[in-house]
């Protein structure tokens, strides 16, 4: 039976507690409910009970929701924390989410509480599984390192055993030479032959010991291979768990689509919002596909490791067969040694009885000659056996070399697996960073869309009130129109970035009068700049015949509009200057480019953010409580348009002083972009 979910609620209103409890019951989950209205009860419940999720009001008479969030994040980071409040400001709530809160729900919209709890519990469960997988992977890496050390030790022992065998083989060759010499001098050195035979027996016993040790080493190697197969199986299970997590993420993405559709139902512009969310989900799906590819590559690497283990088992079986053959050779040698001992005993007996059997001496000599011939045959057989032993040792050395090569291949495979694991960790970090950027972007877009929507809906309701003067109506209508224009700009930016990402954005080449375009931009933004108390200047050095260019008018105008709009937005005092210059003053050469610039005396950009300012969803300030509004897409769209036209765009911080002396000295930025073009005079040439 599944354990009940422990829910700790920090709330000072008993009525609100009953309403929230009723909202939780609609979710149909088994849970234990704990209510606290002060710090002591809150901490006691956390330390004593099994808490799975925390719900908290933002403002309490005797305790602060911020302090509760801080305590929960420091001591219980794995427990989801949801603010349920009626007085929290939306911007503050989103800031708390960035500080560690899982979600926030308003008390006048408790229908969201049930799905928010389910989503938080599911995310917490996925995070726990992810931590377990990380711990398991770390343990496996440590085991593989330990096994590598054991393999190195086994190889050293095997090298030592081979050296000992070579020494024993050398000693056996010397003993055989001595045995042949003793056979030629057998009558004089019978005692020496007995000693040599004993030494041979001792050497055979030593070989048997070495063979037994080698069999034990082979068994240990076989055990290591079995352990590797187990580790490979565990790695396959881990890959399956990773695939399961990806499927769970896809389910979460589906739930996110449902939640966004519900949010879109509440908004007047639901179809446009759903399109934006579908784009974000496609990007998330693409990342999941990349993760599955990485999992497939890891599975292939595991299969290759399993193949290497099977090859090692074959080598181990061949080594066991070679050891059995060596044992058989040793047994045959022992039989020959026993026969030689018997022959020597018979010879000694004949020497003792030779005085009594003088008449039989001739027969004995013949028998002795026969025995000598037999001994020579035995010596030849022993010599052949020694050659076979030498061949066996050479074969063992080959097997040992093959085992060393196999171990090197295994070490290479392990290094490759570690590289794959590092690549997987890097891909995971990039995916997490991308998820973070998307989350920040979606939160920002929610804020950017809700703000003008609130203005439109709010002032539309005010227009319904009777008794408004014509001036007030025009003022409210103007606010509604400005909010609508802001909504249209956001939607246009999203559609543009979507077309750019999908490759559907094309280029339309036509004639463009650059002087007229600059005049148009100047006339369009001059009232807005003067309203902020800024000076705005326009400069260019193009003659009339050089001002007509072949390019995409819409994209060039969009780039200039975005850059001038940003300059006005981020400049509080001073001036803005924009224009274009021809890089070649003659303006008659081919492959010519023209350079536009927009210079301001605004707040500037931190040097560490100059490289990422043109990336999608990135801004100089990415917090939701930043001073300046905007979706953060203008510069990325401008960069894409400039590159589509064959040019480039870059930004520099500069110390700025207006030539007229009107503005004040201060830090500012200058944005440059270039486009290739052919003028009317060049076309005539």
pLDDT of res. 439: 64
279-326, pLDDT tens digit by residue? 767 876 887 787 788 778 777 867 877 787 788 788 778 778 867 877
- The confidence band for 170, taking pLDDT boundaries of 50, 70 and 90, is confident
Is pLDDT of 578 > 90? yes
pLDDT of res. 505: 78
Q: What is the mean pLDDT of residues 38-62?
A: 87
Give the integer Cα–Cα distance in Å for 193 and 181: 9
Give the integer Cα–Cα distance in Å for 593 and 659: 26
Burial of residue 104 (CB within 10 Å: 0-12, 13-18, 19+) is: buried
pLDDT of res. 193: 53
DSSP state of 297: H
State the CB neighbour count (10 A cutoff) for residue 129.
15
Rg (CA), the chain: 44
1-14, pLDDT tens digit by residue? 457 889 999 888 88
Comparing CA positions, the residue from 154, 264, 280 lying closest to residue 219 is 154
Going from the C-alpha of 5 to that of each of 29, 53, 118, 479, the distances in angstroms are 8, 8, 11, 48
- The confidence band for 591, taking pLDDT boundaries of 50, 70 and 90, is low
260 token code pair? 């966004």
State the CB neighbour count (10 A cutoff) for residue 190.
15
228-251, pLDDT tens digit by residue? 788 778 768 867 877 787 788 778
pLDDT of res. 110: 83
Cβ atoms 57, 12 nearer than 8 A: yes
Q: What is the mean pLDDT of residues 197-226?
A: 77
318 token code pair? 């061949």
pLDDT of res. 23: 86
pLDDT of res. 587: 43
> pTM of the predicted model, to two decimals?
0.37
Burial of residue 382 (CB within 10 Å: 0-12, 13-18, 19+) is: buried
pLDDT of res. 466: 82
Q: What is the mean pLDDT of residues 139-154?
A: 75
DSSP state of 679: B
Q: Residue 106: beta bridge partners?
A: 85
pLDDT of res. 440: 62
Burial of residue 424 (CB within 10 Å: 0-12, 13-18, 19+) is: middle
Question: How many Cα neighbours within 13 Å face the side chain of 70?
Answer: 6
Give the integer Cα–Cα distance in Å for 279 and 282: 5
Three-state SS annotation for 598-613: EEECCCCCCHHHCCCC
pLDDT of res. 623: 46
Q: What is the mean pLDDT of residues 492-496?
A: 74
Comparing CA positions, the residue from 352, 341, 415 lying closest to residue 179 is 341
According to DSSP, the β-strands at 5-10 and 53-56 are parallel
Comparing CA positions, the residue from 64, 108, 102, 111 lying closest to residue 83 is 102
Give the integer Cα–Cα distance in Å for 649 and 640: 9
Maximal CA-CA distance, the chain = 161
pLDDT of res. 670: 92
Cβ atoms 117, 52 nearer than 8 A: no
Q: What percent of the chain has pLDDT over 70?
A: 80
pLDDT of res. 21: 87
Comparing CA positions, the residue from 332, 328, 342 lying closest to residue 382 is 332
Is pLDDT of 570 > 80? yes
Burial of residue 483 (CB within 10 Å: 0-12, 13-18, 19+) is: buried
506-550, pLDDT tens digit by residue? 888 888 888 888 999 999 899 989 998 999 999 877 777 778 888
Cβ atoms 578, 564 nearer than 8 A: yes
Q: What is the mean pLDDT of residues 593-620?
A: 80
- The confidence band for 62, taking pLDDT boundaries of 50, 70 and 90, is confident
Give the integer Cα–Cα distance in Å for 413 and 682: 62
H-helix or E-strand spanning residue 315: helix 270-352
Is pLDDT of 142 > 90? no
Higher pLDDT, 72 or 482: 72
Is pLDDT of 192 > 70? no
Return mean pLDDT, the chain.
Answer: 78
384-432, pLDDT tens digit by residue? 988 888 898 888 889 888 889 988 988 898 899 888 888 888 888 777 7
- Mean pLDDT is lowest, of 134-143, 330-339, 626-635, 659-668, for 659-668
Is pLDDT of 346 > 80? no
pLDDT of res. 685: 42
pLDDT of res. 1: 42
Give the integer Cα–Cα distance in Å for 527 and 472: 22
Cβ atoms 570, 600 nearer than 8 A: yes
Percent helix, percent strand, percent coil in the chain, to nearest 5: 70, 10, 20
Give the integer Cα–Cα distance in Å for 255 and 135: 28
Which of 535-563 are b and which e, b meaning 16 or more Cβ less than 10 Å from the residue's Cβ? bbbbebebeeebbbbebbbebbbbbbbbb
Q: What is the mean pLDDT of residues 254-279?
A: 69
pLDDT of res. 658: 45
Give the integer Cα–Cα distance in Å for 637 and 631: 11
Is pLDDT of 120 > 70? yes
Going from the C-alpha of 660 to that of each of 28, 55, 183, 577, 636, the distances in angstroms are 72, 60, 121, 12, 33
């Amino acid at each position: 039976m599944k354990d009940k979910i422990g829910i700790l609620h920090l709330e000072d209103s008993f009525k609100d507690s009953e309403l929230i409890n009723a909202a939780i019951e609609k979710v149909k989950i088994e849970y234990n409910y704990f209510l606290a209205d002060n710090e002591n009860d809150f901490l006691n419940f956390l330390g004593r009970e099994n808490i799975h999720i925390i719900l908290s009001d933002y403002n309490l008479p005797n305790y602060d929701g911020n302090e509760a969030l801080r305590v929960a994040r420091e001591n219980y980071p794995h427990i989801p924390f949801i603010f349920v409040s009626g007085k929290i400001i939306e911007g503050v709530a989103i800031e708390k989410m960035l500080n560690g809160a899982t979600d926030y729900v308003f008390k006048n919209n408790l229908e969201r509480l049930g799905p928010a709890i389910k989503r938080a519990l599911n995310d917490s469960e996925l995070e726990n599984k992810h931590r377990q997988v990380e711990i398991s992977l770390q343990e496996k890496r440590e085991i593989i390192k330990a096994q590598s050390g054991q393999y190195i030790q086994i190889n050293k022992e095997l090298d030592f055993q081979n050296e000992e065998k070579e020494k024993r083989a050398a000693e056996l060759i010397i003993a055989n030479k001595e045995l042949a010499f003793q056979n030629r001098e057998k009558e004089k050195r019978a005692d020496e032959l007995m000693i040599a035979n004993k030494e041979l027996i001792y050497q055979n016993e030593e070989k048997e010991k070495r063979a037994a040790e080698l069999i034990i080493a082979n068994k240990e190697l076989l055990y290591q291979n079995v352990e590797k197969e187990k580790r490979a199986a565990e790695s396959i299970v881990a890959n399956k768990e990773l695939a399961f997590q990806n499927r769970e993420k896809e389910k979460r993405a589906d739930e996110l689509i449902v939640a966004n559709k519900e949010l879109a139902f509440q908004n007047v512009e639901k179809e446009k919002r759903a399109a934006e969310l579908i784009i974000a989900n496609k990007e998330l799906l693409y990342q999941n596909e990349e993760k599955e590819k990485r999992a497939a590559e890891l599975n292939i690497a595991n299969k290759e490791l399993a193949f290497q283990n099977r090859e090692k088992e074959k080598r181990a079986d061949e080594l066991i067969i070679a050891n059995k053959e060596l044992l058989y050779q040793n047994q045959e040698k022992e039989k020959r040694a026993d026969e030689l001992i018997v022959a020597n005993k018979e010879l000694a007996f004949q020497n003792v009885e030779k005085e009594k059997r003088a008449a039989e001496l001739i027969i004995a000599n013949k028998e002795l000659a026969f025995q000598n011939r037999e001994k020579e045959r035995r010596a030849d057989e022993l010599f052949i056996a020694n050659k076979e032993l030498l061949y066996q040792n050479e074969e063992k050395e080959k097997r040992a070399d093959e085992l060393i090569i196999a171990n090197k291949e295994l070490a290479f495979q392990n290094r490759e697996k570690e590289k794959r694991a590092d690549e997987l960790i890097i891909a995971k970090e990039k995916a997490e960073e991308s998820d973070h950027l998307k989350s920040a972007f979606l939160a920002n877009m929610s804020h950017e869309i809700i703000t003008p929507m609130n203005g439109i809906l709010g002032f539309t309701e005010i227009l319904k009130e009777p008794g408004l003067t014509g001036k007030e109506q025009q003022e409210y209508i103007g606010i509604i129109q400005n909010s609508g224009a802001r909504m249209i700009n956001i939607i246009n930016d999203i559609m543009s970035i979507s077309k750019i990402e999908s490759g559907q954005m094309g280029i339309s080449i036509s004639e463009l009068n650059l002087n007229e375009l600059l005049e148009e931009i100047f006339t369009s933004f001059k009232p807005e700049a003067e309203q902020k108390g800024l000076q705005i200047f326009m400069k260019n050095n193009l003659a009339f015949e050089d001002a007509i260019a072949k390019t995409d008018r819409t994209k060039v105008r969009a780039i200039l509009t975005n850059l001038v709009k940003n300059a006005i937005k981020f400049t509080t005092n001073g001036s803005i200057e924009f224009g274009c210059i021809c890089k070649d003053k003659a303006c008659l050469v081919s492959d010519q480019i023209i350079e536009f610039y927009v210079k301001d005396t605004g707040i500037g950009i931190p040097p560490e953010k100059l490289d990422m300012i043109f990336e999608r969803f990135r801004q100089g300030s990415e917090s939701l409580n930043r001073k300046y509004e905007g979706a953060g897409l203008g510069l990325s769209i401008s960069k894409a348009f400039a590159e589509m036209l064959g040019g480039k765009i870059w930004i520099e911080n500069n110390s700025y002083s207006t030539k007229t002396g009107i503005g004040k000295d201060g830090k500012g930025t200058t944005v440059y972009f270039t486009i290739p073009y052919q003028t009317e005079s060049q076309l005539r040439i």
